[in-house]
Structure formats: structure tokens, C-alpha cells
Amino acid sequence: MDNLLSRHWHHLPDDEVVALLESDGHKGLDTFEVTHRQGSFGTNRLTLKKGKSPLTLFLLQFNQPLIYILLVAAITTFLLQEWVDSGVIFGVVLANAIIGFVQELKAVKAIEALARAMEGTALVIRAGQKVKINAAELVPGDLVLLQSGDKVPADLRLLRCRELQVDESALTGESVPVQKQPERIAQTKTLADRSNMAYSSTLVTYGTATGIVVATGDGTEIGQINALIASATTLATPLTKKIAHFSGILLWVILALAGLTVLAGLYHGTPLLDTFMAAVALAVGAIPEGLPAAMTIMLAVGVGKMAKRHAIIRRMPAVETLGSTTVICSDKTGTLTQNQMTVQQLCAAGQRYEFTGVGYAPQGEIHLEQTAIDPQQHPALLECLKAGLLCNDSRLIDNGGQWSIEGDPTEVALITAAAKAGLSNTALEQQLPRIDTVPFESQHQYMATLHHSGTDTGTAPATLIYMKGSVESILSRCHDAYGDGTDTVALDKSSVHRDVEQMAAQGLRVLAFAYKSSTEPAPSISHGDVAEGMTFIGLQAMMDPPRPEAIAAVAACQRAGIQVKMITGDHLVTAAAIARQIGLSGTADSELAHFAINGHALAQLADHELVEVAERASVFARVSPEQKLRLVEALQAQGHVVAMTGDGVNDAPALKQADIGVAMGLGGTEVAKEAADMVLTDDNFATIEAAVEEGRAVFDNLVKFITWTLPTNIGEGLVILVAVFAGLTLPITPVQILWINMTTAVLLGLMLAFEVKEPGIMARPPRQPQTPILTRELLTRIGLVSLMLLIGAFGMFEWAIRHDRSIEAARTVAVNMFVFGELFYLFNCRSLRYSPLKLGLFSNRWLVAGVTTMILLQLLFTYTPAMNQLFGSAPIGWAEWVWILAGGMGIYTVIGIEKWLRRRGDSGENA
């Protein structure tokens, strides 16, 4: 038995399947055999991968260079007996660790959600008796009975079916329920085409069946997806990679400069304790204590903004990752499309009609040659719609303007189309009550209904038969066609086939309709009654249409330099037709092979070939979960930052592997939501465009903060370094450096998190993953501001000393020069390219409030005795304030001129 679970069950005859599983096709397994197999195969549950313990996960949050720097700062301030500052820094470290710990702990819920999806009950036959059991107790060889509404409890090879239809959209991406049958099929058939198999966690929408369990738990298709999720790598985001690299470099630079400071002090004969304190001051000054807190808070602000735009972020770094996205891989069904079948064309009596409106809502018009018509003036049109309405077992339900369905989506599409012509199934059923039905069966490919006309006078038909089905099955039973009036005409089958080919080429699913009338009453209907003599009425063609807002969103993403690719389990022609409508095919007349490929062809490609195809093609149809994952990995191998959208179980491994996984909140499975980094609460692809815009804005603001804060750290470090190397008194002390760094980071730098978006933020291409956080232009600006802060603070300190100010007053001047230099420079950093006047002076009210509070705090720092005692400051006069404000204005002016010169140079190059 153990070597049977990998067999191609769909390719074997049903009697051979039963024999291999050592079961009975009618009585099932006996009780003793069930017990034995439960011991051999275990329960029908997914095995959860043993992960890291919570304690290990928590401790790993501290294993980052940036955290090392902060811990050094915290220990340093603790040794300096600055308890408040040390506590604040330790608090920042702890808060970051807790946030990361909570987010990582949530990641394991994806597999737990899969396990929950396996739970439920199953109706089985054991020892010839029907019994309902917990689905976890199923074993290979069990006989399972399925009926409409059941969740398939394990992977089954179907033995007997009656009109069975299964919704496999969550597993394969197929947009409509799949018709099942028990006959063996070719071994090469892909998962989505195995019509004699029913897979665990899919949903029975219609009919009944008996199947034999061939796989349980980890051996099922969903179990293999579970293994893919467990093995998928959770990638570091572009931001975390760059911050880690930046922090690592900064760590070694600080240690090297601190060592140089000690050597310089010893060279000048400075006492060892003073030299050590100078090295500590340099290290504290160079460490950007506010950076991790700022990064966390800015990402949290971005999370809040996205939530207002219907995007819920599960991992905060995903906010920035969206801004870096270069490729979006989207599922088709329910993401780019409505997930609501809609009749789009109808052919009857030689005319082709088009329907407006999408979805199940019965709203729209019927057009002929691009002109709205009155359906009552077109008898053939009405007769075709009437056939679709009466030969129908489904229902369209109005829930206060929200439309829901019962039954087959294809049949509901026919009801909606008829309603657009003013036809009501209630009224028609009263006029033509149904007497009998020939249900749809896969071997016949049609459904027929018998109706009583309400009269038996002999002058009007006493009975009517309406029939719908595949084009081939209907045409073979017709001898004439419905004309444009009440008369019939000769049936032109070649013309019908041309219409079908044209519709199919557009990715439309085509159904044919026919009728037969009789003056003789009939109590029942059989296959013999519709074997011949039918009158062909027409064709109705439908598809799951694209969301109108998705079309605009795809175009916006492409303008922003982001590639959009469709990865779906649906058929190639259908997927390509949707791709053409939403703009993924390049041009409307592009050859199919140029932009689309199916899963069978993908399976033949070597890894290096797949990388090339993944880059070139924009539509991937009929793909398996493993291929989705492989495609994401191929794109990442090209250096792309990949966002993957999806809503089904089959999307979960790729969602986790992608740089950012985006799940659908309304129509998505719990598995997809738990594997994703972001969940769309409105299931709207257009929301992704808004999220990308917010992601770019968050990254812009982070870069602004780093560009603003580094000159302070570098300037403080340079001041200490110059003083030590020159053998002079330190212009600022370690505790004053902490005051500058912590207060300005919170009251000034963090206000950049609320900055308005840069003009043209979605008109520029995505940031390349290998691009550093700080460009050469920004590094030059940081160096320039650092130098001006060094000259201003050191120069004013020396000026104060030479004008007989106390050392405390001179240091107060230096501290205020740093604070007000940063304050003026903050306005430069509101936009890295444009003048702050272009953004509006008061467009960021938080910044105005922060600046006001910072000024008040500096006045308290300078003039209150308690602050003077705590920080070693002293009151200063108006002359010092003039120099301080002049220094700040000088920095603002110089950087303003530098930005103007760069804009002028860029415009000259573009010209």
C-alpha cells in the first residue's frame, strides 16, 4: 500500500484502482482494515512543520547590526548614569523586537489555516453501511459519498457520478465549476483537467458521486501545497536589506573613529578617563538612535494610510516593499476579473447582439451594430433568451441590491441576460410550467426541459421542449433554424460554426439553444424525444469579464514602470482574451505565442529557459501551484521585486515566496490571507495601485529622514573628532548629544512621516533593487550639511569662549546651533528635489507643531535652572541667538541653491 500513493490514479480504470487499494467498490473497507490503515497512514490532517520556539524567535529580533548599535548606545548611557536616556533607548530596542516577534509568529498561521481547511465530516460506506465520520478518520480505500454543498474531504478517484460539478477555483484557478465523470483519462492530463478526480478542500456545487480515497493528509494535492508553503523562503525586504547593510557599515565606521579618538587623546597626553569619555561622546553622537523608531513609526503611519485605502498590511516592511515592486504577478479569477460569468454576445437569426453591463446584476442594454435596441422587436433574440431562462435550474437572488446566486454560474449568466431584455423567470414559468427535465450529463452534453403551454386547442403548441448544451450536441439534433419571425428557415451549420470560432477566439464560452413544439400533450421527456427534429434558436457566449477598475489600474502600473503578469489555472485562450482586454498583450493584434504560455509548455523548460520566458511573457495559463512558485523564483532570479496577488489555496506558496504577497479579503481563502503580507479588503486590483503609491511615499519619507538625521550624527562626530585631534575642549558633551539626537528625532524628524506625496510619484519608474538608499546626490548633500554644522557649532563655541562666555554657555550655543541647523534643514528635506514652497508651507501641520514644540524645549533647555543642572547648559544672550539663527538660515539657503542648481542641470539634460 505505501508505494501506491504516488500513482496516476486518473489514468487507471476504476476496477484496477479499487483492486490496488484493496477495497470494495460497493461495500468499502471493513472496520478492522480501517483501524489497521489508520495506524499505517495516520490521520487525514496536515503535518505542521516544527518551527523555532517563541523564545528563539524573540531573541533573533536582536540579531541585527542596527540593534547592536542601539544596544551600545543604551549601555553607554547606562554607564554614564543617564538612566532616562538609557531607558528610552532600551525601550526602542524592546518595542522593535516585540513588533518583529509578533509579525513572524503570525507567519506560521498559514499552515495552521490549511490544517483547519481539512477538518469536517464525511459520509462513507464501511462494511456495506453508510456512516458519517470525522474527515480526519478517513484512510486510503474508504468509499466516500458526495452531494451538493459538500467539501471534498480527501483526494478521491471518482467511481460513479450523477451530474457532478465541483468548484476547484481555490485549487486550480478554474473560474467555473468543473463537470466530473468517472471514466479513465490520459496520464498526461494536468491537475485542472483530471475530470475523474475530486480533490481535498474543493466544493461540490451540483450532483452526487461516489469516490474512493486515494490520498489523505500530507499525501493530498493540498498537502503538497502545504509542503511548498513550509519550504518557501521568507525573503528580507529591500528596505531591511539596505538598512542592515547600512547599519553594518556604520557600526564599523563608529568603532574605527572611536579607536582613532582614543589614540589621538593618548597622543596629546589627555588623561585616560577624558579620552574614554571623548570616544564615548563620538560613538553616541554618530549612532542614529532615532532611526529604528522612526522607521517603525513611519511604516506604521503607512499601514494606517493603506488601511483607509482598503489594504491591510500584515508585515510592516511590506509597506516599503510595495514601493519597490517591479513586477506584479496576479491571479485572474476574482482578482483581475469579476468572478461572475456574464453573457456578452448572442447570435440569432443571422444577427449578432452585444450586451452591456458586467456581473450578475441585471443591469445593461442590448446592442445591435453598436446601437441600443428594443428586445421586443427582435423575436429570435427573445426566443434564445427565453430558452436560456426556462432550461435552467439556478437562481439569481436580490439581497437588497447585492446579487447572489444559487446553482451554476453559467446558468445564472443566462438569467441575467434574459432580465436585461425584461424577461422574468417567474412570469415565464407561470405561462410555460415545467413538466419534466432531462438533466445535463457529460456523455450527452445537453440539458432539456419540457413545458406545458397552457392550451390544448390544437391551434397552438400544447408542449414545448427547450434545450441547451454544447454546440456540437445541439446542432446534430437540429434540422432547421428559428427565423427572424415565426417561420423557420434552413439551418446553415457552417455559418453557426464560423460564429462559434469567432466567439471562442475571444475567450468566450459558447452555449447553443434549440426548441421543439408539439400539439400533443406529453407527460414526460426522454433522450429519444430530443434525438432529432429540433429547431436551432441561437448561441449565447459568456465569460468572466475583467473588472473595469482593474483595466485602469493595470495601465497605471505600466505607466509607473511596473510589469503586470497574469498567472492563472484557467484555459490559455480564455486567459489571453482577458489579457487583451486589460492591456497585458502588448498590442491588440499580438500573436498568442508572443505573450502567453501554458503550464504544459512551462513544464518542458529548463531553469535558464524559464527565466527568459518569465521575463518576456505576460500570461501564464493552466499552471500548477509548483509552477506558480517556480515563476516567482525565476523573476526574483532576474533581480525583480515581485508582488504576487491571489485568493486561492493554490496561490499560497507563491504568496509566501514573493517579496510581497497580496491576498483577497472578501473572496480569498484563509490560507491565502495567512500566507500574504497584505490583504485587500475590497478584492480590487485597483487598490494595489493605491498601495504602491503609498509604499513609494513611505520610502520617500524614510529617505528624507535618513538624509535629515545623518548630518547631525556626522556633524557631532566631526566636532568631537576635531576637538580631540586638536587637543581642545569638547564643544558638546555626551549627555547633550543624547538630548539633541533624541528630541530632534522625535519632534522634528518623525514629522516627515506625515509629509505629502512628491509630485509625479507614480510617473517615475520603480526603484531598482540594487540602488542604494542614499544616492550620490544625497550623500553630497549630507556631507555639505555635516560640514556646515561642524563649522557653525565649532566656530560659535570658539567665538563664545573668546568672548569670555562660560564653558557651559559656549556649549549651549553649540547645542542650539545643531538644533536650529537641523530645524532649518528640516524644511529643505520636506522634498529632496523641490522647494518646500512648492509643497505649501503649512501642508504638513504635524511638522509645524513639532517645530514649535522643539523651539519651546530649547528655550527650556537654555533658561530653566533644572535643565541647566541636568544637561550642563546655561542662559545665553540675544547676540548668540542672532548667530545661531543666521547659521540655520545659511544652511537652508545653501541647500536651497544646491537643489535649484540640480533641477536646472536636470532640465538642461532633458532638453
Catalytic residues: 331
Q: What are phi and psi of 759, to 5 degrees?
A: -60, 140
Q: How far apart are CA 536 and CA 493, in angstroms?
A: 10
Burial class (CB in 10 A: 0-12, 13-18, 19+), 84: exposed
Q: Report the C-alpha gap between 477 and 450 in whole angstroms.
A: 16
C-alpha cell read off for 470? 454544447
For 23, 129, 212, the CA distances from 125, given in Å and listed in that order, are 11, 5, 10
- Decide: 353 and 563 in contact? Cβ < 8 Å: no
9, 197 Cβ separation under 8 angstroms? yes
CA-CA distance, 294 to 314, in Å (whole number)? 19
Residue 137 is classified by DSSP as G
Phi, psi at 5, each rounded to 5°: -75, -10
Q: Is the dihedral of CA 634, 636, 637, 640 positive or negative?
A: positive
Q: 222-257 burial string, b = 16+ CB within 10 Å, else e?
A: bbebbebbbebeebebbbbebbeebbeebbeebeeb
Using CA atoms, how far residue 393 sits from 78, 381, 435, 511, 688, in Å, is: 76, 21, 13, 15, 38
**Residues 6 or more apart whose Cβ sits within 8 Å of residue 190:** 599, 600, 622, 624
Rounded to whole angstroms, what are the CA distances from 479 to 469, 483, 516, 531? 16, 13, 11, 11
Helix, strand, coil shares of the chain, percent, nearest 5, are 55, 15, 30
Q: What is the DSSP string of 356-392?
A: ---SSS----EEETTEE--GGG-HHHHHHHHHHHHS-
What Cα–Cα distance (Å) separates residue 655 from each residue in 105, 327, 489?
17, 13, 55
Burial (0-12, 13-18, 19+ Cβ within 10 Å), 350:
middle
